[in-house]
Amino acid sequence: MEKQEKSIIARSCAKVEYRVISSAACELIWLKHLLAYFGFLGVTIMILFCDNQAVIHIASNLVFHEHTKHIEVDYYYIRQQVQAKLIQPQYVRSHDKLVDVITKALLSTQFHRLLSKLGSTNPLDPA
């Protein structure tokens, strides 16, 4: 018998991005515990950047019901981490996402602006 893959159909963009930041929050908490295991105890609050303000409001506000009625209970993990002050979601404009340098075709000006934010001015620089 063949194994069937689970497919997830999102009803909104906020739901998809909420799933993504919930997963990222789990990874951040795991990294924090790993760092603590190796003796790095200085990590207090971790900033999680997100370009969707609705998702930030859902994670931070208990009474944001119009967007949350179809999000599964297990994705409220991020909200618990925000309330415990372990993670702080922070808005970043889509125009300022550094990952776009390696994932999207950009105009030359946008490419060089984001590249300079990464500390490089030459795209061929190995550093």
- pLDDT tens sequence across 39-83: 888 777 888 888 888 778 777 776 655 555 556 655 677 788 888
Percent of the chain beyond pLDDT 90? 2
Mean pLDDT, all residues of the chain: 75
Q: How many CB atoms lie within 10 A of CB 79?
A: 21
Query: Does pLDDT of 29 surpass 70?
Result: yes
Q: For residues 62 and 105, is the Cβ–Cβ distance under 8 A?
A: no
CA-angle at 8, arms to 6 and 9, nearest 5°? 145
Residue 41 one-letter amino acid: L
Query: What's the pLDDT score for residue 9?
Result: 47
* CA-wise closest residue to 78 among 98, 95, 58, 63: 58
- Is 98's pLDDT higher than 60? yes
Structure tokens at 36: 């603590």
Of 73, 76, 84, whose CA–CA distance to 58 is shortest? 76
**What tokens does 37 get?**
């295991």
Residues 6+ apart with CB under 8 A from 19: 8, 10, 75
pTM: 0.60
- Give the confidence band of 7 by pLDDT, cuts at 50, 70, 90: very low
Band of residue 16 on the pLDDT scale cut at 50, 70, 90: confident
pLDDT at 127: 56
Can you give the pLDDT at residue 12? 59
DSSP 3: P
Which one-letter DSSP state was computed for residue 12? Answer: S
